[in-house]
Structure 1
Amino acid sequence: MAPILDINKLYKNYGATEILKDINISIEPGDFLVLVGPSGCGKSTLLNCIAGLEEITDGTLAIGGKDMTHVSPKDRDIAMVFQSYALYPTMSVAKNITFGMKVRGVDQATQEAKLNDVASLLQIEPLLNRRPSQLSGGQRQRVAMGRALVRDPKLFLFDEPLSNLDAKLRVEMRTEIKKLHQTLDASIVYVTHDQIEAMTLATKIVVLKGGIVQQIGSPAEIYNNPANLFVADFMGSPAMNLIPAQVTKNGSGTQIVISRDAGETLVLNDARDLALPEDVILGLRPEDIAEAGFRAGDGVQEAACMVDMVEPAGADTYVVSELGGKQVTARLHAETSAQAGKMLNLAFDMSKVSYFAKETGERLN
């Protein structure tokens, strides 16, 4: 079966300025692809290239096995959901949803059948006679999604659809979109700057920076094995701890030395026999640093650390210490006895450590 979307060596320039550089992405039918990255990284431009709203400078783009590089947007068999909803203010919800079908000459019976199916799926039946001005932000976004769903396209494109909603509604709508994908097995490309959205929604994530793909993989691959320091720092909340360290061999294992205040050092042993340079950046997720006694295993190393800050966060408590000249966050249990200004024994799970090159930032293990 052909990929539902196949992008090969895509470039996008505005004059002499390169916006997208050598983009290569392929997804299978039913995939939920999320393009994520900071503002200005090129993710919305890439989505517009897929939609045909932007002409690509070089490369090819196929949808459903057909070359769409120079095909107009109306002939690409796509449906797009925008950040701004883009609803017709003078039309009812029902007419907003069916307007595209009416323009394409779809018969009335089919329009009504699809409208009823989508209204039921999105639970907006009571809203069909209202105008957009009478709807909440979440309801408007459901209508915008309904208008896309009745198209039954090969590919759905979502351009930051939740960014205008408040935090609670974002979580609710995120859940609805996830359910929708599971129910319809739809193929989706979704743009967001929110890495939590990316992690919770995607089957595949593309991390972009400066118009260049940094990493492509499943949420678990991106989170557990970031390709470089940028991905490690960008994906995760709180971000991965990134600590300068020195490496020495210790028998068949690896000894990691981290500087502390007043010329002291923290020495941790990694049982893995790794070929590493002398200077590295050690990466460890906050949840892989626990309070001593709450984490066991062959790779766990304990050390006393000075607590600089304690941040209760409901089910978890974040404890911040300084190691290697960096603020290091540990995610502890809610009932921890940690206090700012006092020492606390922490357990570092060295089996979960990622190592990065100090100069290039590339992953080493």
Structure 2
Amino acid sequence: MTNNLQKKERTAVSSNPILAVENLSKSYGDLRILKDVSVAIEAGDFLVLVGPSGCGKSTLLGCIGGLTEVTSGNIQIDGQDVTHTDPAKRDIAMVFQSYALFPNMSVGDNIGFGLEVRKVPKAERDKKISQVAELLKIEPLLDRAPAQLSGGQRQRVAMGRALVRDPKLFLFDEPLSNLDAKLRVTMRTEIKRLHQRLNASIIYVTHDQIEAMTLATKIVVMKDGVIQQVGTPREIYDTPANIFVADFMGSPAMNILVADVTMDGLMARIEIAREDGQEPLILYDPNPGEGIASRPAGALKIGLRPEALTDLGSRSVNAEQQFDCLLDVVEPAGSDTFAVIRLGGTEVTARMHGDVDVNSGDTVPICFDLSKISYFDPKSGERL
């Protein structure tokens, strides 16, 4: 840890990744938890592992940290093979959801415990504890016991214990899951700020896709021990690799509809069935891409984010592609109003302006923005 911790400059990205995981597998008997996982990050990246419970993200973090023995594959940290190296020799620091603070030690002693174990001289130890406490704004808490702290304060202390070591890699295992919703948002901002100040290399596990989108420079979406997609938050959101990613990332989730897609000149003609004998919706995508233009006509699954279905006055939309739609359910949410509509044999969500005056049962014009439409193979679910 440098003396000017708060002013640590962002360094240039190294040609060698700070972390490289290659063909990693983990099995317990016949049960395969991780299946040939490969991922790498550069120094200064904030990588978030996200996915539903049981997808293998915490197991992967445990393998990186040395807490879980790998079955096969390779792990390198800063170019060094650490696949079977003891956790204490990997130059990493972990932050757990349980905080794992020593109840019989003060906050200052908790933060400096790792340094004391490494026999760092007391004067240097105290200096580093002071620097971290200033960074995390917990200077007044250094003499308190963990039992006297709030959940957010305890989490700051747990982060301080990791930061004081200045490791090559930080591992966060769902650190905010025990906090209430408002405090989670506050701590999310604090973690983001720390990353920006320190240029730290971070691996962060969460099942909360909002945390993933707001914190990450790179996201790994996992399912059943397999990586589904790796990309920036924008790439994951705008161009999901398959229907699972489209459905998992985003709140509300991407709307997935069955549609008949045919080419009409250079445009894709998209026909979506409606209920109660209503005429189908006919939409036109002026830029369908070569993958769609070269396919034979037929049924596909299309994906539209809720903000692509909206009221005419709320956003910059193409007024030519609007249709009267029956609102099944209306959910006011402050700055936005969400409305459930039935199209293509399924429920879809429209994101409307928060001030729009609509109610369940109303029939209102809904505008369709196809500028970021996604097309998926109806059988495999993969992006076309």
TM-score by length of 2: 0.93
1:310 is matched with which residue: 330, 337, 355? 330
Unmatched 5+ stretches in structure 1:
none
**Preserved contact between residue 299 and residue 349 of structure 1 (Cα < 8 Å):** no
Alignment of 1:79-98 (within 5 A): 79-98=93-112
Aligned to 1:61, what secondary structure does the other structure show?
strand
1:102 is matched with which residue: 103, 116, 129? 116
Name 1:234's counterpart in structure 2: 248
1:53 is matched with which residue: 63, 67, 74? 67
Cα shift at 1:292: 2.4
Name 2:4's counterpart in structure 1: none
Alignment of 1:91-130 (within 5 A): 91-130=105-144
2:201 is matched with which residue: 170, 187, 211? 187
Alignment of 1:1-365 (within 5 A): 1=14, 2-264=16-278, 265-273=280-288, 274-275=292-293, 276=295, 278-296=298-316, 301-364=321-384
The sequence identity of aligned pairs, in percent, is: 62
Q: Deviations over 1:266-324 (max 9, x none)?
A: 11111125334511111011111121244446696211111111110001111111001
**Preserved contact between residue 300 and residue 349 of structure 1 (Cα < 8 Å):** no
Aligned to 1:54, what secondary structure does the other structure show?
coil
Structure 1: how far apart are the matches of 2:282 and 2:353? 25
Structure 1: how far apart are the matches of 2:26 and 2:320? 47
Structure 1: how far apart are the matches of 2:320 and 2:128? 56
Aligned to 1:223, what secondary structure does the other structure show?
helix
Aligned to 1:318, what secondary structure does the other structure show?
strand
Structure 1: how far apart are the matches of 2:316 and 2:172? 43
Q: Deviations over 1:5-41 (max 9, x none)?
A: 0011111111111100111101000000000000000
**Preserved contact between residue 286 and residue 331 of structure 1 (Cα < 8 Å):** yes
Q: Deviations over 1:154-177 (max 9, x none)?
A: 000000000000000000000000
Deviates more, 1:149-158 or 1:290-299: 290-299
Aligned to 1:262, what secondary structure does the other structure show?
coil
The letter of the residue matching 2:343 is L
Unmatched 5+ stretches in structure 2:
1-13
Cα shift at 1:259: 0.8
Aligned to 1:261, what secondary structure does the other structure show?
coil
Structure 2: how far apart are the matches of 1:299 and 1:165? 44
Deviates more, 1:168-177 or 1:266-275: 266-275
Deviates more, 1:47-56 or 1:266-275: 266-275
Deviates more, 1:300-309 or 1:186-195: 300-309
CA root-mean-square deviation? 1.2
Cα shift at 1:339: 2.4
Structure 2: how far apart are the matches of 1:301 and 1:66? 56
Residues 89 and 323 (structure 1 numbering): CA distance in 2 closer, same or farther, change over 3 Å?
same
The letter of the residue matching 1:93 is V
Aligned to 2:350, what secondary structure does the other structure show?
strand
Aligned to 2:170, what secondary structure does the other structure show?
strand
Cα shift at 1:249: 2.0
Q: Segments of 4+ in structure 1 off by > 3 A?
A: 293-300
